[in-house]
Amino acid sequence: MRKVLALVLVLLLFSPSYALRRKRKKKQEKTTSQTAIETKAGVSQEDLALLRADFNQLQERIRALEEALKECQTTSAEAMRKVETLQMRVKALEERIDELRLQLKNSPETGQEALSKEKLYKKGFDAFIAGKYEEAITYFRQFVNNYPTDKQTPSAMFWCGESYFRMNNYAAAASWYEKIYKLFPASHKASTALYRLVQCYRKMGKTTKAKKYERELLRKYPNSEEANFVRRGEY
C-alpha cells in the first residue's frame, strides 16, 4: 500500500500540469515581490522630494531673516549717529543760551555796571557754593570770555564744568574739562579736569573714551592724587 502511495506522489510531482502550476506560482511571487520593491522605492523618492522642498523653504526663510537682521543693524547704527548729533546740537544750544543770558544780564539797558575781574570771579564762586549753578556758569563764562589768558581762567573753566556736572549735564561738563586739559595742560586744574572727564564718560556709558582719558591721566600726571584714584578704581 505504501509503495502505491509513493508511486502516485511521484507521478503528481512530475506531471506537466503540476509543473506548470508551480512555474506560474513562482512567477506570480516574483512579480508581487518586484511590485512591492518598486512601490517601496516610489514612496522613498516621494519622501525625499518633500524633504528637499522643506529644506529649500527653510533656506529662503534663513536668507530673509539674515537680510532683516542686517537692515536692523544698519537702522540701529544710523539711530545712534542721529542721537549723538542731537546731543551735540543740544550742548551747543545750551552754551548759546548761557551766552545770551549773560549778554542780557550785563547789557547797558539793565543799568548794571561792568564787574571787575575779582568781583566777577567771586560772584561766580559764591553762586556755585550756594548751589545756584546756572548763575555760577553765567559769571564764570563771562570771566573766561573777558580774560581768556588770565591765570584764573583754568579755574573759571573748571567751575563751569563743575556746575554742569552738579546738574547732571555730563556732556556739557566734559566739554569744559576738555578745554582745560587741552588749553592749559600745565595748570593745577589739568589733572583734576582729566579725572572728571573719566567720570563724565563713565556716567554717559562711554567706557572707551573713559579708558582713553584714564591712560592719558596716568601718562601725563602719574604722581597726581587723581592718578592714584584711577589706580585704585575710585570713580
SS3 175: helix
Identify the residue whose cell numbers are 506570480: 28
Confidence of residue 87 (pLDDT cuts 50, 70, 90): low
Contacts of 128 (CB under 8 A, 6+ apart): 136, 140, 159, 162, 163
Higher-pLDDT residue of 111 and 95 is: 95
Q: What is the mean pLDDT of residues 93-118?
A: 60
- Structure confidence at residue 141 (pLDDT): 96
Task: Evaluate if residue 154 carries a pLDDT over 90.
Answer: yes
Torsion on CA atoms 43, 45, 47, 50, rounded to nearest 10: -140
**Global pTM exceeds 0.85:** no
| 78 grid coordinates | 544710523
Contacts of 139 (CB under 8 A, 6+ apart): 120, 121, 123, 124, 127
Percent of the chain scored above 90 by pLDDT?
49
Q: What is the mean pLDDT of residues 20-32?
A: 58
Name the CATH topology of 115-231. Answer: 1.25.40
Confidence of residue 166 (pLDDT cuts 50, 70, 90): very high
Task: Evaluate if residue 112 carries a pLDDT over 80.
Answer: no
Higher-pLDDT residue of 181 and 137 is: 137
The count of C-alpha atoms lying within 13 angstroms of the C-alpha of 108, restricted to the half-sphere facing its C-beta, is: 0
- Structure confidence at residue 66 (pLDDT): 81
pLDDT tens sequence across 65-78: 887 777 777 766 67
How many CB atoms are located within 10 Å of the residue 120 CB? Answer: 20
- Return the amino acid letter for 155: S
Confidence of residue 51 (pLDDT cuts 50, 70, 90): confident
